[in-house]
Amino acid sequence: MKSMSLYCIGDLQGCSAPFHRLLEKIDFSPSRDTLYVLGDLVNRGQDSLGTLRSLIALGDAAQSLLGNHDLHLLALWQGVRKPGRHDTLQAILQAPDRQALLDWLRNRCMAMLRHGWLMVHAGVLPQWSAEQTLARAAEVEHALRGPDLKAFLATMYGNTPSQWEDSLEGADRLRVIVNALTRLRFCTPQGAMEFSSSEGAGSAPEGYLPWFEVPGRTSQDTPTVFGHWSTLALGEGRHPVLRNNTLPLDTGCVWGGCLTAARLGAAGAYELIQVSCEQAQVPGR
């Protein structure tokens, strides 16, 4: 009999068919196993609605984070953003059960610590410990689940402040947290974020580093798994590797890459399982 397994999966982005093929390949059982999905559940893929419904149908066996595309969907729903040219979200927004779907989405986590692994969509600022990351994530989760959702989403977008300060308050404080957890790739050793670059780790602008390469970052002793940055894994032949105690799992399924699951073990151990994706590449990330 197969023992219980714990899996992390990188960005789905509405790629429902590869998601189901991956579940079949790992012989996933909701009564036995647990799945952690690292955000960007929807958008750009061919079946965002089906992907969302499949995750909900798995119940507590599927625990999902929120990524930038998921927050974009909530902002569209609340009327504070306009659809992007490459969005594939209208089926959700027009679904008869959209209220239930989007209420489920707004109640997902921004970060999790499970079985010794810290899980985020994009990154962790160098001065944050794992515990501080969870605490900051909880502040955003409170805003997402509260009565002022539209007001929060209306002030969520922007690149400033670019750096965390404990003294930050209000919209500025929440914006920095959201940007770190859902958009971060490069930052300075002091934690100032940069958002214009999306290529591989070797393309850092002058003065910046990939967030996981900042020397002495506070969370470095906690194994961390993240998505968001498909060019990291695509530059390594689509086979993610643990580096600096972090594991990137966005292998660019929606861009014609693979969808990747990591079976998690103790002390940073993992095993990769992948399926190919038939999704034709869509311009613009």
Check whether 113 has a pLDDT greater than 70: yes
Query: Per the structure block, which two tokens stand in for 101?
Result: 């779907």
- Please state, in angstroms and rounded to a whole number, the distance separating the CA atoms of residues 147 and 75: 14
**Domain limits, the chain:** 6-276
pLDDT of res. 273: 95
Check whether 37 has a pLDDT greater than 80: yes
Are the CB atoms for 278 and 38 separated by under 8 Å?
no
Give pLDDT tens digits for 170-209: 999 999 999 999 999 999 999 999 999 888 888 889 999 9
Shortest CA distance to 252 belongs to which of 222, 273, 281? Answer: 281
Q: Indicate the average pLDDT of the chain.
A: 93
Check whether 281 has a pLDDT greater than 50: no
Check whether 279 has a pLDDT greater than 70: no
pLDDT of res. 268: 74
pLDDT of res. 242: 86
Query: HSE-up of 197 (CA within 13 Å, CB side)?
Result: 19
How would you classify the pairing of strands 62-64 and 117-120? unpaired
Residue 23, Cβ density class (10 Å: 0-12 exposed, 13-18 middle, ≥19 buried): buried
Check whether 233 has a pLDDT greater than 80: no
Check whether 282 has a pLDDT greater than 50: no
Which uninterrupted H or E stretch holds 109? none
- Please state, in angstroms and rounded to a whole number, the distance separating the CA atoms of residues 284 and 36: 26
Q: Between 3.60.21.10, 3.30.465.10, 3.20.20.80, 3.40.50.12780, what CATH number should domain 6-276 receive?
A: 3.60.21.10
Q: Please report the sign of the dihedral spanned by the C-alpha atoms of residue 220, residue 223, residue 229, residue 231.
A: positive
- Please state, in angstroms and rounded to a whole number, the distance separating the CA atoms of residues 126 and 184: 11
Q: What percent of the chain has pLDDT over 70?
A: 95
**In 3-state terms, the chain is what percent helix, strand and coil (to 5)?**
35, 15, 50
Give pLDDT tens digits for 120-142: 999 999 999 999 999 999 999 99
Are the CB atoms for 61 and 35 separated by under 8 Å?
yes
Give pLDDT tens digits for 39-72: 999 999 999 999 999 999 999 999 999 999 999 9
Kindly report whether the global pTM for this prediction surpasses the value 0.85. yes
- Please state, in angstroms and rounded to a whole number, the distance separating the CA atoms of residues 255 and 125: 27
